Structure 1
Amino acid sequence: MIPAGAGSADVSEISDWFMSSRPPIAYSDFRRVMDVALKYNIQDIISEARHRLSEVFQTDSLDDWCVELDPEGDRTPLQISYFDYIDALRLSRLLGMHSITPLLFYVCCNLSPFEKIVDGVQLAGIPEPVTLSQDDLRTCLRGRARLIQESSRIMKAFQELAFDERGRPSACKTPQHCSEALQALSLAVVDAQCFSEPSAIDPMDRWITRHENTADAKPCRHCGKALRNVVNERREETWCKLGEIFGVEEWPAGEKD
């Protein structure tokens, strides 16, 4: 545990503790370490902090995106949860980690209740509520609206496959059954309000599998694969747009051809 208000006399001890600590480190401790490291410009800690944040907020591929932000399970280098993201966005700016800010904005857009983004949250060891800057709040609100639009695009593609056989695989041998199954899934996803949330890059495979197992909602394997493909294609498109959505040029996925 790092004491609040640690200063220059504690730098060596803090550095030794941080560099030797096994993951995951609690975000409250991580933040206190970073306050000292940034104040005294301790480059080895700053470099390690950048590494740990980049391991949690992985930007190489949508396949690496982990909604729970624990991509390595118990070995994830930072124990970060829920409203810590608001402060982590601030910290990413101080560390110059512009490439991960779109993901931080994304998780902030999906906080619930969303009002906490405006009101601020109380984090352990921090006397004042942590809030977004006015510029970041504006970006977050605009981005949230865009993400909901992207979610609706996924729903539209979902419904087009369900109600238009021309988009189905030619290998399908049970078109009538698959129409009914896909339409049942389409109605279930509307009832679940999956596409009225700003969660356009979150995986849906588990949701689809779970609902396929209900009565008359499992298409043939060809149509089931086509459904997952169309959903994942739209998710990938949104993933590539995150930098543009949140006004960040240094978004790796947006730089790909």
Structure 2
Amino acid sequence: MDAELFPRSRTEIAPGAVHVPDWLDMERQRRLLAACRDWARPPAGLRTVRTPGGGTMTARQVCLGHHWYPYGYAPTVVDGDGAPVKPFPAWLDTLARRAVADAAGTAPVKGPGPATAPGAAADPTPDPRVPANLHDLAPYDIALINFYDGDARMGMHRDSDEKSDAPVVSLSLGDTCVFRFGNPRSRARPYTDVELRSGDLFVFGGPSRQAYHGVPRVYAGTAPPALGLAGRLNITLRVSGFGGG
């Protein structure tokens, strides 16, 4: 909505878990969507994820940097066409660091900034708006991109297959969803339901890095018409901690 009775603002949902509404403006959303469409093409493109028990996830997925499958990582699409995973571009690492800084409230200017715009050349110099301790963080090197149609859901789970405790960065494009953010102990309550809209940022790290979370509902047809997307894309950026590149 362009105008709301209660405008949305940056909110700490739990210790280390922060929602930043409207972090990506429409132009950056379009650029990120165009990149996602390129990544979704085969080889190593969008696939249906099958669980060891024989079930399937209703959200379809494509990976960058390292290929995730239940429950681990591989250099190739071991549960799909077997192709090498697509590379993780440097500008996504810059985008992730900027997101962490903004979520933490340590950057003076909201938004990803020109050097982190999808499709732009990586800036070889450190971004002065990003705190020095984030420059020392190991590079973000994993992207999991999930596509939800109106019937797709994601059960409560933890992002626990990485060896790093760096914050997870989550970006939303398209349809609005209910994002259920829980606790590190179990899938049960307490949890908080957060409405994530196109362009929103959600970052979780520190004591919330291993919190259970999921998507119980997607509101079909709520994507901004100017974006040109039917459905929801969720881009999560992570540090693997695997070492050795």
Higher relative contact order, chain-length normalized (CA < 8 Å, sep 6+): 2
TM-score by length of 2: 0.25
Normalising by the residue count of structure 1, what TM-score does the alignment of the two structures yield? 0.24
The structure with the largest helix share of the pair is: 1
Q: Greater strand percent: which structure?
A: 2
